[in-house]
Amino acid sequence: MMEDRWGKKDFQVVKEGITYPLGIKAAGINCGIRLNKKDLALIYSDKLADAVAMYTTNKFKAAPLVVTEKNLSLSGGKLKAVLINSGIANACTGEKGLKDAWETVSYVSQGLNIKKEHVAVFSTGKIGEFLPLNKIKAGVEKVISGLDYAGGEEAAEAILTTDTRKKEVAVNFVLGGKEVRIGGMAKGSGMINPHMATMLGLVTSDVSINLDLLKSALRQVVEKTFNMISVDGDTSTNDMVIVMANGLAENRMMEEKDDNYYKFYHVLYFVVEYLAKCIAKDGEGATKMIEVEVKNALSFAEAKKVAKAVINSPLVKTAIFGNDPNWGRILAAVGYCGAEVVADKVDLYLKEKIVENGQPLKFSRQNIHEYLGSSKEIKIVIDLKMGEENATAWGCDLTYDYVKINTKYS
């Protein structure tokens, strides 16, 4: 398949972020929602951009998601600005919360002199609290005045809540002789188990691409990246990811799934996967990131069941935290996940092959113990030997406090 042709040699990772693509400005400020931290970010495209989004499947969908979805529908998938506040999620806030979200859209629309339907809004933070509109209104004026092509780092900082670090990435590559750039930023540390999560993602690009193709690319990428991470098994009310493409790279418009499309798809996949891994690594209280690769399942859906079951298992998490090579917990999760599995076919790798055809192999528990204790990134590989489909999930171990509680009362 054409999409299998591309590798990391086909693009370059640079030390930039959301403003790396041509025509993208950003700013991040403190507007008073939080005491001493930046809490308001604005991203702006000089040229009207094509935009697509995916949203949480939580029934208590936060007001800003409802507003953004409506605006993308009204505009036919066009955006110029994205406003993000941290500290308050504006979720479970009823009609007032919805009115407040529309009000923040108006502040940006008026301040930038753009149409309301060309504005998207994100909120993240505490659920069940109303936005302080007076602070946000003043903050919007301030953040607009601070817009800059070098403002990506401040914006990436302003969207964080319980995160301990910024999550941003940027790459460039060539399409039809034109340099194309993609930049991304995300936030998320707790309440992470996306189904499209609190998880926010924004990706900008200067590529020229048909809106339907952009939507198709985002859906496929999210299903295999953001939807494959889990920190605590909770799906947020505020999960949303947006991709904007303003066309300033001036590559020939992509109208079909040809070689250029698959190259773009591959690079977009790298960007979103990188952000997803950053979220998993920064899970609240986590000491290790866990990567679970499932190989040779009957379908991607089956492989996903296995990978997510293992990554979500509290017993697996506590074993990894305790540097305990208790592989039975891993196979137990495989067995109850509901996927088509033949126990006598399964191979399991934890640094090395430790189970073959469902039977234990001789291995040094001390070596595995040392691997788990010395590594910040732990990889588990499960070969079902049922088909040809693969999936990878990312998560983290449990916090020390949880482990103490789990041990004490179990």
Residues near 106 by beta carbon (within 8 Å), at least 6 away in sequence: 116
> Using CA atoms, how far apart are residues 105 and 80, in angstroms rounded to an integer?
12
93 as an active site residue: the answer is no
What residue has token string 């407040």? Answer: 100
The Cα 330–Cα 393 span in angstroms is: 14
Rounded Cα gap, residues 355 and 363, in angstroms: 9
**Cα 400 from Cα 284, distance rounded (Å):** 11
Cα distances from 401 to residues 153, 167, 317, 321, 404, in angstroms, run 33, 26, 13, 11, 5
Helix (H) or strand (E) holding 202: strand 200-205
Q: Of these residues, 198, 204, 235, 392, which one is catalytic? A: 198
**Element (DSSP H or E) covering residue 155:** helix 152-158
Comparing CA positions, the residue from 73, 76, 101, 103 lying closest to residue 88 is: 101
Give the other-Cβ count within 10 Å of 355's Cβ.
20
Give Cα 112 distance to the centre of its chain.
28
Residue with token string 């499960």: 382
Nearest to 198 by CA among 305, 319, 272, 91: 91
What distance in Å separates the CA atoms of residue 40 and residue 6, rounded to the nearest whole number?
37
Q: Which residues pair with 172 in a beta bridge?
A: 12, 181
Contact (CB, 8 A) for 380 and 330? yes
Return the structure tokens found at 91. 């979720």
| In the block, residue with structure tokens 């499932």 | 294
Would you give the DSSP letter of residue 180?
E
Residue with tokens 């990978």: 307
Query: Which residues belong to the active site?
Result: 198
